[in-house]
Amino acid sequence: MQLPPIRQYGTLIRRYKRFLADIRLDDGSSLTVHCPNSGSMRGCSEPGSPVIISRSDNPRRKYAWTLEMVRNNNVWIGVNTARTNNLVHEALEKGIIDDFGPIDTIAREVRVSEHSRLDFLVTVRDRPIYMEVKNCSLAAGGVALFPDAVTSRGTRHLEELARLRDDGFGAAVLFCVQRGDAERFMPARSIDPLYADTLFRVRDRGVAVLAYRAEVQPDHILLTTPLPALQQKQ
C-alpha cells in the first residue's frame, strides 16, 4: 500500500482528545492533524517522537493532514488504523495471508448479529470464514501486544467468532502488527486480562489466531510476515 504522495516529516508535540495531534514541522511551525486511532497509542505517542503526516485531497475535511506513522525504538510504527483493513484486504488478494488456502471471494463489514459486524467474510472452496482484524502498534521485548487499552468491544468480537465457529463456520482473528521489531504475538494481559483470557479460550474452541507483521516505511506499508501467536518463548 502506497501512502498519499503529499507527506511531511515532523515531531509530535502531543496527542489529545483521542483523534487529534499537534505536530511541529521542520520549519518550526505547528499544526493540528487528524489522528485516526481510538486506542491509547501506548508506546508510540511520546512527545518529541518523529512522525510522518499525509495531506488529504478532500476539501471538506476540517483537518487536512493525517498522522500516519510515529518512530519509536528505531522503527516506524503505523498508527493510522483506517488503513488496517485495506492492508489485510491487499494481503488476502495477493495470497500473502495464505492460512486458509486459495480464497474465492472477500466481503467486508459483514453483519453477524443485531449489534455486531465483523471485518471480513472470505470463502474458500465454498466454506465461509469470518475474520476480525485488530491493529497492533504496541510491542515490548520483541513481543507484539494487543490491546493497548481495555477493550470490551474487542472481547465481544471474540465471543462472536466463537459462536460462529460453534455453528460450523470458519472463524479467525488476525492481528496486524504495524512495526518491524516484533517477532511473536501475545495478548497484553497486564492491560486487559479479560481479553487475554477470552482470546485463549476462543482459540481452544477452534477460532484461528493469526498475526502478521507489516513492513512500515515512510512511503508504503505492506503486510509481509506471519508471526507465532500465543506461543510462550522457549
Domain map (residue ranges) of the chain: 7-78, 81-226
pTM score, two decimals? 0.95
Task: Say whether pLDDT at 217 is over 80.
Answer: yes
Instruction: Fold for 81-226, please state it.
Output: Trna Endonuclease; Chain: A, domain 1 (3.40.1350)
Task: Say whether pLDDT at 194 is over 70.
Answer: yes
Tens digits of residue pLDDT in 3-51: 999 999 999 999 999 899 999 999 999 999 999 999 899 999 999 999 9
Residue type at 30?
S
Task: Say whether pLDDT at 200 is over 50.
Answer: yes
Task: Say whether pLDDT at 218 is over 50.
Answer: yes
Instruction: Fold for 7-78, please state it.
Output: OB fold (Dihydrolipoamide Acetyltransferase, E2P) (2.40.50)
pLDDT of the residue at 233 = 52
Task: Say whether pLDDT at 234 is over 50.
Answer: no
Q: What are phi and psi of 154, to 5 degrees?
A: -65, -40
Reduced to 3 states (helix: H, G, I; strand: E, B; else coil), residue 226 is strand
pLDDT of the residue at 231 = 80
- Virtual CA dihedral for 224, 1, 85, 39, nearest 10 degrees? 90
Task: Say whether pLDDT at 156 is over 50.
Answer: yes
The position carrying cell 520549519 is: 27
Q: Mean pLDDT in the chain?
A: 95
Q: What b/e string do you get for 109-133 counting C-beta neighbours within 10 Å, with b at 16 or more?
A: eeebeeeeebbbbbeeeeebbbbbb
